Chains A and B, each alone.
Chain A
């Protein structure tokens, strides 16, 4: 996008900046740059091949942070299904289980039923707000550290390095003609890719069934077709997206880079090249000859070499930058070697950059975290979490819903009494069978009830029903009011006959010839 005004770089209400200095003299598109000076150059192609990214190995604080997050996230992903959690004889003993067949979601001590899907919705809202929180504070940290695409791409790039060596060796191998050695190497590498992909797809299905059983069935070829299909699809997507598409996913497929552009403001931390310090670029040789003429950037291209998406951060914020900060590690290392201060490429906000350009001393990056927006997001996020925990902790394990039969609304019996039928749903959310009492509340004297299992001869004002563990029992109840007695609205009261004595009351109506609905 461009704005035809020459003052293109104004961002929101931020003062107009002179970004031209941050731009390399040659544009991002060498063909276009050539055509600027020489119109006879042929126009660019409609399509272009992906340029392979061979990112160089680098060590530094951010790289170590990435390692740590990768280990933690992958461990969580692969280990979680194997955790056991004893829930007694009536419920599965897997700590985290999405039991689609029985429509239950287990997570340690929490068990969620379909009608409580709002807890899952709440988790999704928390994830969304958490993303806003992180983005407003530290920019695209999600992309750079925690996104599965990033984590697996990183993993596959380490596989590349392990099999083919570091950047230069891989570039050489890419250019080398196909021969037995290269084919063997490639097949070896791709088989490692495939193994990782299989493990990834395989771990996914373990969340939906009992992990040890499923693994046994899976290899005995006795698992359900949907399990094999899921593993197949996820293996393929991991292999293809992590092994070959990589940064293309971020640049062309994922909506997040576009959204985050709208969520950053001048107070958000981004990975920034401090052009006022770096430009004009000059080699070390030139600096020796003519000290003070050039900036700190010696154009060593290490920042480009380590970048997992292969961009040049010195061109400013761009869609391809996932804010993984590996270029910071690389640049800091170079600056240390040539004895210049670190932070030529660094986490900074636009505001901090403004201040630095105006000659103020640099502020530490972490100060950018302390701002109202971050606290408000965090407050909302935490409030939802606390509210959900509260709701989970205080919810009743006993629930009653009543739906009166509407067709016919009432039945006149031989003796002139009026009968209504109701469908009651008694929910027992505990992992043990429980006895419950259903009682009529607010009906005149003489009203009795019986159910589909408790015959008319045992009709009374209340009935005892056993509800199986972890189930909703459907009971058809009949309520009869004697001849000549009028009744209108009343309630069913459900009481659990155990030490908890949980109660739930559901109001409903009694239809008769006098008050036909």
Chain B
């Protein structure tokens, strides 16, 4: 703005101040000088930005951004925070590692921590098959982990064993093995029909027959027990309850008799450390269907929040 351009500047009569010269709908701007400190503040912001550029990552280049002499990065900060969190959790990990899983329920505090850790690990490793709510997927034969029906046992130690060694998994010699022979060709169609009806009758759905009872006693009772209550030691499912891994309609049962499906779960001993497996077992057990080792043991916290020490008032904000 040269002096020349200002020579003809008009003066605003009421205030006696020079006008800038622009006009919008008859409204003009006064050319009141800015305060000096404002200018200094402006320079200070420029200085600030220069210092920032030197200290912090600032200029995006082809491969990466300039680094800044402090060497700070958000990724690094995250890594630091994660390792700090790991450090904070270490004592809990050590305690869980040192506690036998059957002794966990006696320590509600530690059990709560284990369940919380298990919930996190579950979201990472298990939801792909068992679902985010652990409700499984009947169509594909992924079992529901919330109910009280356990093929291999629902006590903490049993769940831990299943998680460690898997089911029909080649990676462990101690894996859970159960095999049901296919009856296709071994039984005639009417026999199969009679058998299906008997199996349905075990849970009060179909009408049994003498033939069905006989066939069941000959071919099935050895594993599934005469009353159809199954055998967790062999991994023979109970047939007398309301829960079916592969569906409870006559057609599902027929298909399973003729050509049984055998679900597989990988063992986790080579992917996860024993503490994580222990925590996962605690979490699965806590989903509401876990069985107690001895009768009358109190159920333990199934919600990590319930044992959190801090006041929970803040939770209200989420509601």
Interface residues of A (CB under 8 A from B): 1-6, 8-9, 19, 23, 26-29, 31-33, 35-36, 39, 42-50, 102-104, 113-115, 245, 248, 252, 401, 403, 405-408, 411-416, 419, 421, 423, 425, 427, 450, 452-457, 468, 470-476, 478, 483
Closest beta carbon of chain A to B16's beta carbon, Å:
2
Which of A46, A406, A408, A473 interacts with B34 by CB under 8 Å?
A46
Q: Which residues of B contact A468 (CB under 8 A)?
A: 311
Q: Are B18 and A252 in contact (CB under 8 A)?
A: no
B67: CB under 8 A from chain A? no
In the A-B complex, the 10 residue pairs with the closest CB atoms: A27-B16, A407-B133, A408-B135, A455-B299, A115-B316, A414-B241, A472-B312, A416-B242, A43-B6, A476-B303
Q: Which residues of A contact B11 (CB under 8 A)?
A: 27, 32-33, 35-36
Which of B19, B149, B313 interacts with A471 by CB under 8 Å?
B313
Which of B18, B135, B299, B305 interacts with A44 by CB under 8 Å?
B18
Q: Are B16 and A33 in contact (CB under 8 A)?
A: yes
Q: Which residues of B contact A407 (CB under 8 A)?
A: 131-133, 135
The contact sample of 23 A-B pairs, CB cut-off 8 A, is A8-B14, A31-B18, A35-B11, A46-B34, A47-B38, A48-B33, A48-B36, A49-B36, A103-B313, A113-B313, A113-B316, A115-B316, A248-B35, A405-B133, A407-B131, A408-B131, A411-B288, A413-B289, A414-B242, A423-B303, A453-B306, A454-B299, A472-B313
- Which B residues, 283 to 310, have Cβ-Cβ distances below 8 Å to chain A? 286, 288-289, 292, 295-303, 305-306, 308, 310
Give the CA-CA distance A266 to B179 in the complex, in Å.
95
Q: Which residues of A contact B134 (CB under 8 A)?
A: 408
Number of interchain pairs (Cβ within 8 Å): 206
Q: Which residues of A contact B319 (CB under 8 A)?
A: 115, 401, 403, 425
Q: Are A5 and B26 in contact (CB under 8 A)?
A: yes
Give the CA-CA distance A1 to B28 in the complex, in Å.
6
Q: Are A47 and B39 in contact (CB under 8 A)?
A: yes
Closest beta carbon of chain A to B138's beta carbon, Å:
10
- Which B residues, 224 to 255, have Cβ-Cβ distances below 8 Å to chain A? 238, 241-243
Closest beta carbon of chain A to B287's beta carbon, Å:
9
Q: Which residues of B contact A456 (CB under 8 A)?
A: 299
Q: Which residues of B contact A411 (CB under 8 A)?
A: 135, 144, 146-147, 288-289
Give the CA-CA distance A403 to B34 in the complex, in Å.
58
Q: Are B28 and A4 in contact (CB under 8 A)?
A: yes
Q: Are A452 and B35 in contact (CB under 8 A)?
A: no
Q: Are B131 and A452 in contact (CB under 8 A)?
A: no
Which residue of chain B has the shortest Cβ distance to A4 in the bound complex?
Answer: B26
Which residue of chain B has the shortest Cβ distance to A467 in the bound complex?
Answer: B312
Q: Which residues of A contact B34 (CB under 8 A)?
A: 46-48
Give the CA-CA distance A471 to B299 in the complex, in Å.
23
Closest beta carbon of chain A to B18's beta carbon, Å:
5
B17: CB under 8 A from chain A? yes
B218: CB under 8 A from chain A? no
Closest beta carbon of chain A to B319's beta carbon, Å:
5
Q: Are A2 and B312 in contact (CB under 8 A)?
A: no
Closest beta carbon of chain B to A498's beta carbon, Å:
20
Which residue of chain B has the shortest Cβ distance to A411 in the bound complex?
Answer: B146
Give the CA-CA distance A452 to B299 in the complex, in Å.
6
Closest beta carbon of chain B to A424's beta carbon, Å:
10
Closest beta carbon of chain B to A401's beta carbon, Å:
5
Give the CA-CA distance A409 to B167 in the complex, in Å.
27
Give the CA-CA distance A33 to B13 in the complex, in Å.
9
Give the CA-CA distance A245 to B41 in the complex, in Å.
13
Which residue of chain B has the shortest Cβ distance to A453 in the bound complex?
Answer: B301
Q: Are A427 and B316 in contact (CB under 8 A)?
A: yes
